[in-house]
Amino acid sequence: MLDIPPGALSGPVTFQMFEPASPILKLVITANGSDHLTFLKAVKLTINYARCSSSLPPKVQIVRLDANDNTQEELGGNDERPHRRVTTDLDHLSGYAIASG
């Protein structure tokens, strides 16, 4: 889920989210067909990891995936284990995944 506060966008935007087939939980978000968008204000990204195995690490976080140079950036996040979801703030779009924190 992407929670976008008023004033975070400069105009109308259509978002699409999907999980590509992968052994790890990845999330791809596009805005008007592009996988890059800089927000004017921080937005919140929440990823539900209920489909992941029950043998999770003690803490889960969100990482940003850069397809251009195949790197990951740890974003951290609030791991709500009882609800099996993690939330973090974003300043721009990219690809994302769940990783141990």
Per-residue pLDDT of the chain (101 residues), as tens digits, is: 999 999 999 999 999 999 888 878 889 999 999 988 999 999 999 999 888 876 778 888 999 988 777 788 999 999 998 999 999 999 999 889 988 87
Cα–chain center distance at 26: 8
Q: What are phi and psi of 72, to 5 degrees?
A: -125, 145
Decide: pTM greater than 0.85: yes
The CATH code of the domain that includes 96 is 2.60.220.30
Give the domain range for residue 87. 2-100
Number of structural domains (the chain) is 1
Do the Cβ atoms of 36 and 27 come closer than 8 Å? no
Are 16 and 27 within 8 A, CB to CB? no
